[in-house]
Amino acid sequence: MTSQEVAEAEIEAEQAYVDHVHERLEQSAEVARSLVKEGYERGHMGHEGGLVERDAMVFQASKRLAALNAAHDGLVFGRLDLVEDAPRYIGRIGVRDAEREIILIDWRAPAAALFYQATAQDPLGVIRRRVLRNVGSTVIGVEDDLLDAENAPEDMVVVGEGALLASLSRARDSSMHSVVATIQKEQDEAIRAPARGATIIGGGPGTGKTVVALHRAAYLLYNDRRRFEAGGVMVVGPSSVFMSYIERVLPSLGETSVSLRSLGEVVDGVRAHDHSPPVAAAAKGSSRMLPVLRRLATSPQRGEPTRFRYFYKDDVLVLDAKILSGVRRRLLSGQPRNRAYAKVPEALVRELWRQVAGERALEKGEEGFADTIGGDDSFVDFVEAWWPVVEAVDLWRTLPDRIAELANGAFTGEELAALRSSWRDGAMTIEDVPLIDELRYLVGEVPETDDEGEGGPKQLMSFERREHEERDERMRSTRSIEDDGYAHVLVDEAQDLSPMQWRMLGRRGRGASWTIVGDHAQSSWPFPEEAQTARDEALANKPEHRFRLSTNYRNSAEVYDLAAKVVAYAVPDADLAEAVRRTGFEPEHAVVPGAQLEPTLVEAVARMLQDVEGSVAVVAAHDDLEWLAVPLGPLLKEHEGRLRLLDGLDTKGLEFDGVVVVEPDAIVAESAAGWRTLYVVLTRATQRLSTVATSDTWRSRLS
């Protein structure tokens, strides 16, 4: 038999096994569908117990059905031939036959660990490791690694060039895919790290940090589902573009219950997708913003009254600025502004009562006085005007007018101007979301309105009833702000997080275990030491497990050689991984006069689309995107879904078969972290890279 015939025979044999597994999967799905149907039918039992039983059955069965449906694509991807045991098939989820015997092992199960941990140097009882390449439920190829030739039977077939190198040459599309079939040993060790504490995954571009972290989330859910599913797993990435890119990975691994959030979507009810300009972004993210927000949360709001006069019998009772300031300090001592809301009337009544003299004080007593003044519209109006309930977003909107006053010299004139400019049109950016979260924490939740619909404000109910309501309000406010944490927090591109963003995430991970992924050489945050301090506070002395991924699987060596020179110029101690493959295509560079930039760019992009099969990105400085969209418009429309126009920050975590970089010098000049950003941009290319520019200063600086 020829090698082609041998391979086809092996594919046919594996297809028969895969068909058997899919038949069992479909039978399991049919059982789940019938349970969903039965659950709804039980809802007609006509009593509360029936409804509860229905909801529980429908929820569990629907969850199982979703996992089964998500696992269809590439369900069976691996096989182990062992020295002392029957072959093991490895897949995205576990499957049993009609006799409850395991016919497919979940990749996260201990029995599947050999698939990732065995090597030719230490085969661990594995003779042959086989990867099955699938399209849907169809086997289209097999790739073998012979790990223990001495124990291999004479008739054992070995097919292909090795699964990993074969997978590296395939075209990318607009989504990240699971690499569960080609995980390498050092990656597997990070995936299976202890659940407690913080797992820190480092390494240069293309080492698989992101996909390893996502597989780790699936692994944790598999091994301790009760803890992590009940408490929740939150995956945080740099942008909505990135989250769209990775959203298919966890469902393909059988996990559909993880919360995926970009940094602009971490806070419930708040959503932002764009970045602030660099100077404003650095100011907003700095820990210098903290005292500004604290002053804003505790200071009087503009327009609040500063004096109240009340005529009681023959007395003129006055709350002047000094008295009101003292009341404010006492009310805010140890509690947020909105949580103190219910105590305001009593505190003000007490100050007024102290001014009531003689027999008039004995007439009704303090409670009678409180009832009298509490029903007076002038007092009600004053209380509502002096201590209004504040929303964090509304408070944030006052910052443009108050930033200089509140900053108290913490920011330079350039920074103040940049901040005002970024807030001028009221647009919320990714860097504003942590500020709103901080204010939300500082002022507390907005108290609920009076359920009984009384005419007066909730503050002014009777003292006896208010005592119970205050306790309930305090418990509600405490739960809603402080107990919104997760069981596990996964942070990707962590090197870019500002101190304020670390504070935002830290609130959601106080009791959590963490997975933190990053590479300091790719950082867009200009003050790493300040961010490190904030990160340490967020982790709160949790034990750390560190892993370094050393092999660059993404970039060709030709592309990475250029990128490595760029980062070495800016970050001499950068963690440089080893690129494992060559394509024979060096990066191309076109330097042209300004008038020739547009036609040269269009030609370069069209040629890139012809040269690579998969995805292509055109990357430029943020301020250039608008005008570039005009000449590139026809190509973007014709190749929608395959061709993207992005700025440097939005390429974080992504990869493309071909990348065309426009004006690299403009990307470098865009921010203090410009060289690092250019490094990120260059390392997005898996196959081909080209640059089109009117200047070539950046290359002249490379050694």
**pLDDT per position as a tens digit, 520-534:** 999 989 898 999 999
Q: Which long-range contacts (CB under 8 A, 24 or more apart) does 544-547 make?
A: 544/197, 544/198, 544/199, 544/200, 545/193, 545/194, 545/197, 545/198, 545/199, 545/200, 546/200, 546/202, 547/186, 547/189, 547/190, 547/193, 547/199, 547/200, 547/201, 547/202
Query: Is there a contact between 416 and 299 (Cβ–Cβ < 8 Å)?
Result: no
In a domain, residue 178? The reply is no
Query: Is there a contact between 493 and 652 (Cβ–Cβ < 8 Å)?
Result: yes
Q: What is the dihedral of CA 489, 495, 499, 501, to 10 degrees?
A: -40
- Give the separation between CA 418 and CA 399, rounded to whole angstroms: 13
Of the two residues 451 and 25, the one the predictor is more confident about is: 25
Instruction: Tell me how many domains the chain contains.
Output: 4
294 with 161, same domain: the answer is no
In a domain, residue 174? The reply is no
Find residue 656's DSSP bridge partners: 685
529 with 382, same domain: the answer is no
**pLDDT value, residue 482:** 45
Q: What is the mean pLDDT of the chain?
A: 85
State yes or no: pLDDT of 589 exceeds 90: yes
Transcribe 373-397 into DSSP letters: HHT-HHHHHHHHHHS----HHHHHT
pLDDT in tens, 165-180: 455 555 555 555 555 5
Per-residue pLDDT, averaged over 307-322, amounts to 89
For the chain, percent helix, then strand, then coil, each to nearest 5?
50, 15, 35
Residue 205 DSSP code: T
450 with 504, same domain: the answer is no
- pLDDT level of residue 53 (50, 70, 90 thresholds): low
Residues above pLDDT 70, as percent of the chain: 83
74 with 162, same domain: the answer is yes
Q: What angle do CA 126, 132, 138 make, to 5 degrees?
A: 150
Residue 514 sits in a domain of what CATH number?
3.40.50.300
Containing domain of residue 450, as a range? 278-468
694 with 573, same domain: the answer is yes
**pLDDT value, residue 462:** 44
In a domain, residue 198? The reply is yes
**pLDDT value, residue 363:** 67
Q: Judging by beta carbons within 10 Å of its beta carbon (0-12, 13-18, 19+), is residue 110 exposed, middle or buried?
A: exposed
Highest mean pLDDT of the ranges 30-39, 336-345, 413-422: 413-422
pTM listed for this prediction: 0.74
462 with 598, same domain: the answer is no
Q: What is the dihedral of CA 330, 335, 336, 341, to 10 degrees?
A: -60
Q: Which residues are CB-contacts of 403 (< 8 A; sequence separation ≥ 6)?
A: 292, 411, 416, 419, 420
**Helix (H) / strand (E) containing 646:** strand 643-647
- Give the separation between CA 703 and CA 694, rounded to whole angstroms: 21
In a domain, residue 513? The reply is yes
- Give the separation between CA 362 and CA 368, rounded to whole angstroms: 10
How long a stretch of residues is the chain?
703
Out of 472-481, 566-575, 633-642, least confident range: 472-481
State yes or no: pLDDT of 374 exceeds 60: yes
124 with 264, same domain: the answer is no
Of the two residues 100 and 609, the one the predictor is more confident about is: 609
332 with 435, same domain: the answer is yes
Phi then psi for residue 413, to 5 deg, are -60, -40
Per-residue pLDDT, averaged over 220-248, amounts to 86
In a domain, residue 446? The reply is yes
442 with 300, same domain: the answer is yes
**pLDDT value, residue 147:** 84
State yes or no: pLDDT of 456 exceeds 90: no
Phi then psi for residue 218, to 5 deg, are -65, -40
71 with 99, same domain: the answer is yes
545 with 561, same domain: the answer is no
Of the two residues 386 and 93, the one the predictor is more confident about is: 386
One-letter amino acid for residue 162 of the chain: G
433 with 531, same domain: the answer is no
Per-residue pLDDT, averaged over 522-550, amounts to 93
Among residues 468, 493, 522, which one ends one of the domains?
A: 468
Q: Which residues are CB-contacts of 419 (< 8 A; sequence separation ≥ 6)?
A: 280, 283, 284, 399, 400, 403, 411
- Give the separation between CA 187 and CA 183, rounded to whole angstroms: 6
- Give the separation between CA 582 and CA 560, rounded to whole angstroms: 10
Residue 81 DSSP code: E
Query: Is there a contact between 381 and 262 (Cβ–Cβ < 8 Å)?
Result: no
**pLDDT value, residue 170:** 55
- Give the separation between CA 196 and CA 543, rounded to whole angstroms: 8
Among residues 510, 525, 549, which one ends one of the domains?
A: 549
In a domain, residue 110? The reply is yes
The string over 199-212, giving b where at least 16 C-beta atoms fall within 10 Å of a residue's C-beta and e elsewhere, is bbbbbbbbbbbbbb
Query: Is there a contact between 27 and 67 (Cβ–Cβ < 8 Å)?
Result: no
Among residues 468, 497, 513, which one ends one of the domains?
A: 468
Q: Which of 506, 430, 422 is nearest to 239 (CA)?
A: 430
Tell me the Ramachandran region of residue 173: left when phi exceeds 0, alpha when psi lies from -120 to 50, beta otherwise.
beta
Return the structure tokens found at 284.
């907003």
In a domain, residue 478? The reply is no
In a domain, residue 475? The reply is no
